[in-house]
Amino acid sequence: MRTQVVIVGGGPSGLLLGQLLHKHGIETVILERKTRDYVLARIRAGILETGLVNMMREAGVAERMDRECFVHHGTCISYENEMFDINFQELIGQNVIVYGQTEVTHDLYDARAAVGAKTMFEVENVEIHDADRDAPCVTFHAEGSTQRLDCDFVAGCDGFHGISRKTIPETVRREYEKVFPFGWLGILSETPPVHEELIYANSTRGFALCSMRNENLSRYYVQCDLSDKVGNWSDDAFWDELKRRLPDAIAEKLVTGPSIEKSIAPLRSFVTEPMRWGRLFLCGDAAHIVPPTGAKGLNTAASDVHYLYEALVQHYRDNDSEGIERYSERALARVWKAERFSWSTTNLLHRFPDQTPFDLKMQRAEIESLHYNETAQRWFAQNYVGLPY
Is 23 designated active site? no
Closest CB to ligand APR among residues 36, 340: 36
Distance CA 327, CA 369 (A): 37
Q: Which is nearer to ligand PHB, 46 or 159 (CB)?
A: 46
Crossing angle for the helix pair 322-349 and 297-318, to the nearest 10 degrees: 170
Residues 218/192, Cβ–Cβ less than 8 Å: yes
Q: Is 169 a catalytic residue?
A: no
Tell me how far apart the alpha carbons of residues 228 and 236 are, in angstroms, rounded to a whole number.
Answer: 16
By the criterion CB under 6 A, which residues form the site for ligand APR?
8-14, 31-34, 39, 44-45, 101, 123, 126, 157-159, 161-163, 284-285, 297-298, 301
| Active-site choice (195, 292, 309, 315) | 292
Concerning whether 296 is annotated as a catalytic residue, the answer is yes
The nearer residue to ligand PHB, 275 or 349, going by C-beta atoms, is 349
Q: How far is the CB of 147 from ligand APR (least distance, A)?
A: 13
| 121: exposed, middle or buried (Cβ count in 10 Å: 0-12, 13-18, 19+) | middle
Nearer to ligand PHB, 8 or 210 (CB): 210
Closest approach, Cβ 295 to ligand PHB, in A, equals: 4
Using CB under 6 A as the binding rule, whether residue 102 contacts ligand PHB is answered as no
Of 323, 352, 338, 350, nearest in space to 385 by CA = 338
Residue 93 has, within 13 A of its CA and on its CB side, a CA count of: 0
Q: How far apart are CA 53 and CA 309, in angstroms?
A: 15
What single DSSP character describes residue 38?
H
CA pair distance 28, 7, nearest whole angstrom:
7
Distance of CA 251 to the CA centre of its chain: 28
Residue 9 binds: one of ligand APR, ligand PHB, none (C-beta under 5 to 8 A by kind) = ligand APR
Least distance to ligand APR from the beta carbon of 212, Å? Answer: 17
Minimum CB separation of residue 258 from ligand PHB in Å reads 18
206 binds, among ligand APR, ligand PHB, none (CB under 5 to 8 A by kind): none
Q: Which is nearer to ligand PHB, 120 or 217 (CB)?
A: 217
Closest CA to 336 of 346, 344, 325: 344
From 99, 109, 316, 384, active-site residue:
384
Bond preceding residue 258 cis, omega within 30 of 0: no
10 counts as binding ligand PHB under rule CB under 6 A: no
Among ligand PHB, ligand APR, none, what does residue 323 contact (CB within 5–8 Å per kind)?
none
> How far is 57 from 38, CA to CA, in rounded Å?
26
Reply yes or no on whether 192 is catalytic: no
Torsions phi, psi of 138, nearest 5? -130, 125
Site for ligand PHB in 291-320 (CB under 6 A): 292-293, 295
> How near is the Cβ of 236 to ligand APR at its closest, in Å?
29
CA distance 91 to 86: 8
Q: Which of 73, 296, 306, 315 is catalytic?
A: 296
- Does residue number 74 form part of the binding site for ligand PHB (CB under 6 A)? no
Can residue 46 be called a binding residue for ligand PHB (CB under 6 A)? yes
123 binds, among ligand APR, ligand PHB, none (CB under 5 to 8 A by kind): ligand APR
- Distance (Å, whole) CA 304 – CA 379: 22
292 part of the active site? yes
DSSP H helical segments within 208-321, as ranges? 235-244, 248-251, 297-318
Helices in 235-296 by DSSP H: which ranges?
A: 235-244, 248-251
Which one of 99, 109, 200, 307 is the catalytic residue?
A: 200
Between 357-372 and 374-385, two packed helices, what is the crossing angle to 10 degrees?
A: 90
Minimum gap (Å) between residue 43 Cβ and ligand PHB = 8
159 vs 250 by CB, closer to ligand APR: 159
CB of 130 to ligand APR, least distance (A): 18
Q: Which are the catalytic amino acids?
A: 72, 200, 292, 296, 384
Interacting residues toward ligand PHB by CB under 6 A = 45-47, 198, 211, 219, 292-293, 295
